[in-house]
Structure 1
Amino acid sequence: MRIASRAFPLLIAALALGYPWLVPNYYLVYAGALTVMYAAMATSWNLLGGFTGYVSLGHSAFFGLGAYGTGLLVTRLDVPWAVALPVSAALVTALAAGVGVAAVRVRGASFVIVSIALVSMTNLVAQGWRSLTGGSSGLQVPSPFPGLHRGQTHMAFFYLFLALLALALLTWWYVSRSRFGAGLLAIREDEDKAESLGVPTAAYKVTAFALSALFVALAGGLYALWFGSLDPIFVFSILIGSNMVLMSLLGGVRHLYGPLLGALIVAPAGEYFLIALGETQIHLTATGLVLILVVLFMPDGILARFTRRRAGPSIPDRSAGERLHEVTP
């Protein structure tokens, strides 16, 4: 079992690295890049939702801000894309920390409402500030690889998103084994008790909120460079945040590979229905329906139900008291 658990990540990595060369056409490379992008974002969302239990539907705000931040630095200030990407993500992370100070003061449904409001506000700003963002007409971002044709560009961004996914997975794995991660889990199990015993719950939640936003902003910046055309209605859509939640819940928020598994199911399914049904709203309705079904009948996700958490690193089940013991003297 130990050999299998160690070989599994290597097998997945080998398949991922070889994927663009194994598929028969560039459309499947594009679909693969889109899936890996969502896997990275769902894993990033899980740094907040999986550890603290705070469900944010507003992470698409950080995706859109990362996209527009990168695009504006490249187009307005002529900053090289390799510099604009991390600078934009750092600015979004700082903003997320500031927002988090206010957002994490509320819990449950109130936190969900605040996260949705954040998406709405950023969307309105992006559409209303026409002189800077282009408004509803969008923003055109030049390709960082002008010498490549579209198919080769898909391949380049597939590997860039794959690197981002690897970094997000490594961060999740490290947090799950750290004192900080134990504090976040104590918050999820019993926040009031954790705070009464000296755990800095507010600081921990803000840090998790900002760390989660960092990777989502990086994904947004890469998306801007990849597609080259930003539509504020899409990049600030609550659907993007809902997909992160759905993928994480479907695969399993307690497991390292849970959001990845969810992305491997939801993203290709979304592409299939988009092609089969055309530009309709039916696939959006299906997404909402699947999210409801997952929450009602499989809240712990696929991996928790069918593998009994033996397919890779996961958050072990322990009581709130045991988690508090890990983070208090």
Structure 2
Amino acid sequence: MIDMDLQIDDIPPSERFAAWRALCEGPMVPMELRSAHEDDFSATMWGMDLGRVTVAGSSFPSLWTQRTKTHIRRSDPELYHLQLNLRGEADMVHGGVTTTLGDRQFMLTCTSLPYEGAIARGRTDELTIGIPPSLLPFPVADLNQLLGRQLSGRTGIGALLADVLIRLGAEHAAYRPADAQRLGTVVADLLTALLAHELDGSDAETGPATLRMAPESHRNALVLRIQDFARRNLHTSDLTPASIAAAHHISVRYLHRLFERQGHTVAAWIRAQRLERCCQDLADPALGGTPIHAIAARWGFSHAADFSRAFRGTYGMPPREFRRTALSQGGLELQGTPGGK
């Protein structure tokens, strides 16, 4: 679960900053770093691999960083990073926006664009999510509206995401490898909900939105809210197009039109989400003793025969065979799952 847990205080003071810089200026995201504390640098860093999502934490004294076009040409993993500032104050320049981050404030960055400059004053603690664009169901143009801006981690969805990240940081050594995929899904879903909220144009802390959204962006944000609602209610048997439409004050016809734009029907998307959750549970060693029909019922399949037929039609094998293969191989990585994010 833990990819990296770095403590440099046991390194001679004169060598600490060089060790930190070697790690941060690595081959994946090269950058330049300087500090006013290079002669006595004290810092920590840890990282967690949660499937295709990563979460990392670091604590360091005053630091200056820069990622230029030259660095990007050298290497670009093409990731979005959501940084949560927990302590200290940071001045960031990214995407043509200059921002000062205070406690419990987020900022979205993209490794494909330069950091024109970043200055952290005083000791700074931060947490960072790394996520590929393919897991964020937004047009690049919409995401670019948010780059370099303050996003609140003090209220609403931002506060919920911040609390989850802080808890992960406090207990990052306690999780098992089998927890990784589930935790990655939680983090990705909350991040998606936060970005959808910001793009939708209202924030309780900052008041009226400064972003003007195109009609397509409004539709995308509504779809994301609907999908988030559906994911949270997959276990209920009465999750239907009618109940979803009523919960979002739209007509069933308009709901179907929204999903047709995404390339699938409402019912097919719900079924794919339920099957994906069943796959995760069937591959989980901790649930190896749970009957397959109970797992199916947990995710909204009320008839075992219907579940088995749908599962086999989607994944090419019955659920019992999938579970046996997954557990014997230590878990399977699902690829190409229909109806994903």
Q: Fold match, TM over 0.5?
A: no
The structure with higher relative contact order (CA 8 Å, sep 6+) is 1
Higher helix share: 1
> Normalising to structure 1: TM-score of the pair?
0.28
Larger radius of gyration: 2
> Normalising to structure 2: TM-score of the pair?
0.28
